[in-house]
Structure 1
Amino acid sequence: MVSTSILPKSADIANELKGATPRAAKWWFATFHSVTAMVGAGVLSLPYAMAHLGWGPGSVALILSWSITLYTIWLMIELHECIPGRRFDRYRDLGQHAFGPRLGLWVVIPQQLIVQVGCDVVYMVTGGKCLQQFFEILLPHWNKLRQSYWICIFASFQFFLSQFPDLNSIAGVSLAAAIMSLSYCTISWVACLSRGPVRDVSYSYQQSSPSNSTFRVFSALGQVAFAYAGHGVILEIQATIPSSASKPSKVPMWKGTVIAYFITAFCYFPVALIGYWTFGRDVDDNVLVSLKQPQWLIAAANLMVVVHVIGSYQVYAMPVFDTIETILITRLKASRGIALRLVARSAYVAMTLFVGVTFPFFADLLGFFGGFGFTPTSYFLPCVIWLAIKQPKRFSPSWIINWGLVILGVLVMLASTIGGLRNIIKDSSTFSFYS
């Protein structure tokens, strides 16, 4: 938890970072940044989530999540310039406007940091595992390295890319990541469709104790929630788009976001449904691990995942870098420059590397972070902020919808957080660390 005594005030941020975010992006920048942010490695665990939820509940969870998060992301885009002449470039700025300078920080900062740091930890694990899969498929007789080493190799890319100044400076990496996400998702469901159901495929629930099954279902809800992660950086993405009275930023931002969401649907639904149809209840927590043939295609898909999470890591890390550097500059009087960037950003990458190497539980991490961080920021916190700022009339459609989503989101958050945390503890008891 970050103490409010060391957090920079909005005025400090505005003065210190004035002009730091170039506003020259077009609507298609919003599209591929959003695709990179949303279509993450969590899509590969959706068949696994379906295995614990079943056809009916799983399909409903996918459709509801897509619809709800599209609505809440629209709320945030509208709120970006809810005050004429002022832009809320960061989630924390919007939270402070809604709840006050101090309470706004306590409400938003912890949740946003959980999302951003949680994503980076999961992507660190995913990048290392998929890099390992790629080389082991291509070179099956090669002396195998420990999984921890592969995660460290992946981290080396992040140490380098973290020195780029902002999101616009890594636009090419983000575009490549968006293309890769489309590619490996397509490969995943096409390969599953071509393979057909495995022998003796079963769609019944796995035999387990009632408590274990319940916790796995809770964790699966968190895995679905993790799949919709773009809200944590959506305002930062919109901040790169120019705006005027005649052409507000919300118009190109919404256009780019809608396109990104339909691309997301094209990725998520086929992978989840066809992957589950192919492997049933025995699907791995990463569907690419379940797929074995054709080897060259599965190897290519794993490499595409690596390229994608390289870009996704940076999309989520850039706002964290901004927060860290702003605190160091405004509170500790550090000098902006290469030295600050090298030390602060490298320390952050090293921290996520340490956590990823220590707890490399892909599905469990998705369930925990999906419930604890992603459900609030993606499902109900935008609704709470909308209610606080817009104050719709009681029992009006807007009031009913937003309060309904708040209640639903809180229930999902509690269930998936408990399920994910319990599974991490359970799996840790039989895991050989740093192996």
Structure 2
Amino acid sequence: MADERSEEQKRIDEWLPITSSRNAKWWYSTFHNVTAMVGAGVLSLPYAMAELGWGPGVTVLVISWVITLYTLWQMVEMHEMVPGKRFDRYHELGQYAFGEKLGLWIVVPQQLIVEVGVDIVYMVTGGKSLMKVHDLLCKNDCTTMKLKHFIMIFASVHFLLVHLPNLNSISGVSLAAAVMSLSYSTIAWAAATKKGVQSDVDYSLSEKTNLGAVFNFFSALGDVAFAYAGHNVVLEIQATIPSTPEKPSKGPMWRGVVVAYIVVAVCYFPVALIGYWVFGNSVQDNILISLNKPTWLVVMANLFVVVHVIGSYQVFAMPVFDMVETMLVKKLRFRPTWYLRFITRNIYVALTMFIGIAVPFFGGLLGFFGGFAFAPTTYFLPCIMWLAIFKPKRFSLSWIINWICIILGVLLMILAPIGAMRSIILQSKGFKFFA
């Protein structure tokens, strides 16, 4: 099919971060997906298990893994379902399924909540991990530094890295991040196994009142949903892979996704199950704290977390840069220059750093907003688009599977924010900005 774009459109597409480079290999898809999916949130999965209990906890983990792998397959398939056209961005697929304006309004706000929200959380996570390393290595002979100072140090790395132009250019950073996520996950479950089941282990729910247990259950659902956020960047990752009618991009992309999901399982399931098995309901919301390992091992694990969230921040930031730069260049008619990119990206890093410093319980807020955005974009929006575009026959296997995913996803979208709201209220007592 002939390229119908004008010379100006081609020039702009060659400048924008998602469409500027299309020479990625299938393994780029693997480590971009691992970096996007396996966040530091994996360390809180044993805590989520403690709020869910053995039966519901294992069920929720397994069902989430299966559903999100299925919806990821759908997105990979839909990337090039129109001959001669590629849906390089999540909102472009939404516009095709729901219409030009409605598609934008459905997808873009949810995608921005996830991507910007995750980047703010990673600012705080990176700062906390650096602070932990500092406190462990520097006992009493160091100057006192607050969390906000470590967030600024973490942000300084991003003021440099955000000027890498596109997803392919951050592939080295992303690979390092993927290796680190596998490393600190392995440290967590291996050290827990060595420690052995505690003598006073208790597998009953930590919250003894029925109402509190229900709220904690809802909140734990949100924690699990947070662990599967990679769908928000999957079409953008696939856009970097070359494609021809004979060799469409979905082949290498799917191969990369399968390998990534095996890595996800290797990271998630041992940490969640072994962590809960060893500590029961006394496990901390970060298993590294519960382990109380030798200093060198805690330091190493926290440094791994820092390297990982550096890469994850970049992978989630790139689609945001693409949206902002597309709006500036195509809608507001700015010229695509290096200084336009320099200004907008520096503002973005400064903004995420500022919010991370200002709001200490942003993780709770993300659980609240994430219920509205993580669940749809990951669990059921791909299914709705599949039904709208392919229109499978009513009560066929495809129709039934998609509706099951939609119903479970909607329940998650409703219940997770309820639990998170209670968490926010409890955490915000005595709250001070920039504390």
Which band: TM-score by shorter chain? over 0.9
Unaligned runs of 5+ in 1: 1-9
1:268 matched residue in structure 2: 268
Corresponding position of 1:61:
60
- Alignment match, 1:356: 356
Match of 2:400 in 1: 400
SS at match of 1:18: helix
Contact 2:356 2:362 in 1 (8 A): no
Q: C-alpha displacement at 1:155, in angstroms?
A: 1.2
In the other structure, the counterpart of 2:412 is: 412
- Distance in 2 (CA, whole Å) between partners of 1:207 and 1:64 is 25
Assess if the C-alpha contact under 8 Å between 2:12 and 2:336 holds in 1: no
**Structural mapping, 1:288-327, within 5 Å:** 288-327=288-327
Segment drifting more, 414-423 vs 376-385: 414-423
Q: Which residue of 2 aligns with 1:177?
A: 177
Aligned to 2:421: 421
Gaps of 5+ in 2: none
Matching residue's letter, 1:24:
N
Cα distance change, pair 227–198 in 1 and its aligned pair in 2 (3 A)? same
Deviation at 1:16, TM superposition (A): 6.1
Partner of 1:25: 24
Which position in structure 2 is the counterpart of 1:3?
none
- The whole-number CA distance in structure 2 between the counterparts of 1:391 and 1:428 is 46
SS at match of 1:84: coil
Aligned to 1:123: 122
Query: How far apart are the structure 2 equivalents of 1:351 and 1:418?
Result: 28
Residue 102 of structure 1 aligns with an amino acid whose one-letter code is K
Q: Kindly indicate whether the alpha-carbon contact (under 8 Å) linking 2:162 and 2:314 is maintained by their aligned counterparts in 1.
A: yes
Q: Does the residue aligned with 1:240 lie in a helix, a strand or coil?
A: coil
Q: Separation in 2 of the partners of 1:13 and 1:97?
A: 23
Aligned residue number for residue 227 of structure 2? 227
Matches of residues 7-406 of structure 1 in structure 2 within 5 Å?
17-20=12-15, 21-141=20-140, 142-361=142-361, 364-365=364-365, 367-406=367-406
Q: TM-score, normalised by structure 1?
A: 0.94
Give per-residue Cα distances to partners, 1:212-260, cap 9 Å, x unaligned. 3222211110110111111000000000000111111000000000000
Contact 2:21 2:166 in 1 (8 A): no
For each residue in 1:184-219, what CA deviation from the matched residue of structure 2 results, as whole angstroms up to 9, or x when unmatched?
Answer: 110011111111233412111113443332222111
Equivalent AA in structure 2 for residue 343 of structure 1: I
Mapped to 2, the partners of 1:414 and 1:364 lie a distance apart of 16
Deviation of residue 403 (structure 1)?
A: 1.1
Kindly tell me the number of residue pairs found equivalent between the two proteins.
426
On the 8 A contact 1:177/1:309 being kept in 2, the answer is: yes
Q: Is the CA contact 2:164–2:170 (under 8 Å) kept in the aligned structure 1?
A: yes
Q: TM-score, normalised by structure 2?
A: 0.94
Instruction: Please give the secondary structure, in 2, of the residue aligned with 1:22.
Output: coil
- Aligned to 2:258, the other structure's residue is in SS state helix
Mapped contact 1:219–1:364 kept (Cα < 8 A): no
Give the Cα separation in 1 of the matches to 2:361 and 2:272.
20
| Coordinate RMSD, CA, aligned | 1.8
**How far did 1:434 drift?**
2.5
Q: For the structure 1 residues 300 and 19, does the alpha-carbon distance in structure 2 shift closer, same or farther, using more than 3 Å as the test? A: same
Distance 1:66 1:294, change over 3 A: same
Native 8 Å contact 2:176 2:308 kept in 1: yes
Give yes or no for contact 1:42–1:366 (8 Å, CA) kept in 2.
no
Taking the aligned partners of 2:43 and 2:346, their CA distance within structure 1 comes to 28
Identity, % of aligned positions: 59
SS in 2 for 1:82: coil
1:349–1:85 CA distance, 2 compared to 1 (3 A): same
Rounded to whole Å, the distance in 2 between the matches of 1:315 and 1:188 is 24
Q: Distance in 2 between matches of 1:424 and 1:149?
A: 24
Structure 2 counterpart of 1:238, one-letter code: Q
Question: Distance in 1 between the 2:399 and 2:193 partners?
Answer: 43
